[in-house]
């Protein structure tokens, strides 16, 4: 089985499907993925669901199960199966109990979420084994209580039947010296401007690749993120927003247009300038190839998304209110921002304690 890209007839929208060993789409999965595409999920999200459901279908095939016959106990075995190495999943080798899991808890939980969403979709359409991975609970969900909690108190809510406990990972941020090293390693203004926009605006790489000249207001020093379909597949993950930027970034944009962009007839900001097809929108793959080259030059094993984490962390540490940071990042709510960045590292905590004089002038001596 394998995951294959498709283009939706009529609209030209990119999507993904899962093909069986007979090279024919797996019908229930294909319909679910088409539904996700239809409601506007990004191609990358649909692709992730496709890979997760492909793994689930491989497990069902290995067990000789029909997806409609699967029960919660089978899902438990699916979790154990996921943690085996590929050869162990196929039954080719015996796996010692002491071997570490092939995938982490976060990856397993993501795949379970995909399977759960698939079964929930099937249940809503009157097919399948019901909402297999959901349980309905009543009572509190912990210490946090939502607004108007008293109105819905006691009503059942949908919860996850199976979820592994995953360690919380802090977002990886780039030090100032690392950002400078990456920018200085860029030999072209286009490349330098790309990473400068990531650093200044906190935008996602796809949002930057989807920028058009009309989205950059030079006089106002601001960049607009506009949800739209682009030929290079770049898109805004969340709703539109406007992000203020500094005048130095606008000057770099002007230098890029004057020295490299020239007379290219395109409304896209980032285009292919030296490789064919020239003038076409710069692609994710081209940007990632640049990242690989810069990793080799700088020795920094970075990812473009780290610039977004770095911007958010910098804003919060500089005292920008979290609701403003949430709006700048395009998060759906402040709760999302808090879940990712609402933490203090040991370094942050020490700085605050030192500022408060905690380590000096103690009233008690040891």
Count the neighbouring beta carbons within 10 Å of the beta carbon of residue 286.
Answer: 16
224 by DSSP, 3-state: which? strand
Q: Write out the E strands in 24-148.
A: 134-137
Where b means 16+ CB within 10 Å and e means fewer, 45-80 reads ebbbbbebbbbbbbbbeeeebebeebeeebbeebbe
Residue among 102, 237, 295, 297 flagged as catalytic: 237
Residue among 190, 235, 241, 308 flagged as catalytic: 308
User: Can you name the residues that pair with 242 across neighbouring β-strands?
Assistant: 224
241 by DSSP, 3-state: which? strand
| Under 8 Å between Cβ of 201 and 223 | yes
User: Can you name the residues that pair with 241 across neighbouring β-strands?
Assistant: 225
User: Cα(245)–Cα(76) distance, rounded to whole angstroms?
Assistant: 49
Closest CA to 205 of 314, 315, 284: 284
| Under 8 Å between Cβ of 226 and 201 | no
| Under 8 Å between Cβ of 345 and 170 | yes
Q: What single-letter DSSP state applies at residue 157?
A: E
Catalytic residue flag (residue 237): yes
Task: Determine phi and psi for 110, rounding to 5 degrees.
Answer: -65, -40
Residue among 119, 253, 261, 341 flagged as catalytic: 341
Count the neighbouring beta carbons within 10 Å of the beta carbon of residue 175.
Answer: 10
Residue among 63, 305, 321, 350 flagged as catalytic: 305
Residue among 204, 235, 241, 309 flagged as catalytic: 204
215 by DSSP, 3-state: which? helix
Catalytic residue flag (residue 343): no
Catalytic residue flag (residue 308): yes
User: Can you name the residues that pair with 271 across neighbouring β-strands?
Assistant: 281
Closest CA to 59 of 108, 96, 104: 108
Residues identified as active-site: 204, 237, 305, 308, 331, 341
């Amino acid at each position: 089985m394998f995951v294959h890209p498709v283009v939706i007839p009529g609209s030209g929208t990119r999507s993904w499907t899962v093909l069986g060993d007979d090279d024919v789409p797996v019908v229930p999965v294909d319909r679910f993925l088409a539904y996700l595409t239809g409601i506007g999920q990004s191609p990358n999200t649909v692709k992730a669901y496709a890979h997760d459901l492909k793994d689930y279908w491989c497990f069902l095939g290995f067990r000789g199960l029909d997806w409609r016959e699967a029960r919660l106990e089978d899902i438990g075995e699916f979790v154990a199966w996921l943690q085996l190495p590929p050869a162990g999943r196929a039954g080719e080798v015996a796996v010692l109990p002491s071997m570490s899991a092939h995938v982490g808890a976060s990856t397993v939980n993501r795949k379970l979420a995909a399977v759960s969403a698939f079964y929930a979709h099937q249940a809503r359409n009157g097919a399948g084994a019901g909402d297999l991975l959901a349980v309905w609970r009543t009572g509190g969900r912990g210490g946090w209580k939502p607004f108007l909690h008293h109105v819905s108190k006691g009503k059942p809510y949908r919860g996850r039947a199976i979820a592994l406990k995953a360690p919380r990972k802090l977002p990886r941020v780039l030090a100032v010296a690392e950002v400078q090293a990456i920018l200085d390693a860029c030999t072209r203004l286009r490349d330098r401007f790309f990473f400068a926009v990531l650093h200044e605006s906190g935008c996602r790489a796809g949002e930057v690749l989807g920028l058009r000249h009309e989205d950059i207001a030079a006089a106002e020093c601001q960049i607009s993120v506009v949800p739209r379909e682009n030929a290079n597949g770049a898109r805004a993950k969340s709703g539109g927003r406007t992000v203020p930027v500094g005048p130095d970034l606008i000057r770099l944009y002007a230098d890029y247009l004057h020295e490299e962009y020239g007379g290219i007839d395109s409304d896209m900001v980032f285009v292919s300038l030296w490789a064919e097809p020239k003038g076409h929108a710069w692609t994710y793959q081209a940007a990632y190839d640049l990242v690989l080259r810069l990793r080799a030059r700088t020795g920094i094993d970075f990812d473009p998304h780290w610039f977004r984490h770095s911007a958010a962390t910098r804003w919060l540490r500089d005292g920008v209110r979290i609701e403003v940071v949430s709006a700048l990042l395009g998060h759906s709510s402040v709760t999302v921002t808090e879940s990712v960045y609402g933490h203090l590292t040991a370094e942050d905590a020490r700085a605050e304690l030192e500022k408060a004089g905690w380590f000096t002038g103690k009233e008690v001596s040891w």
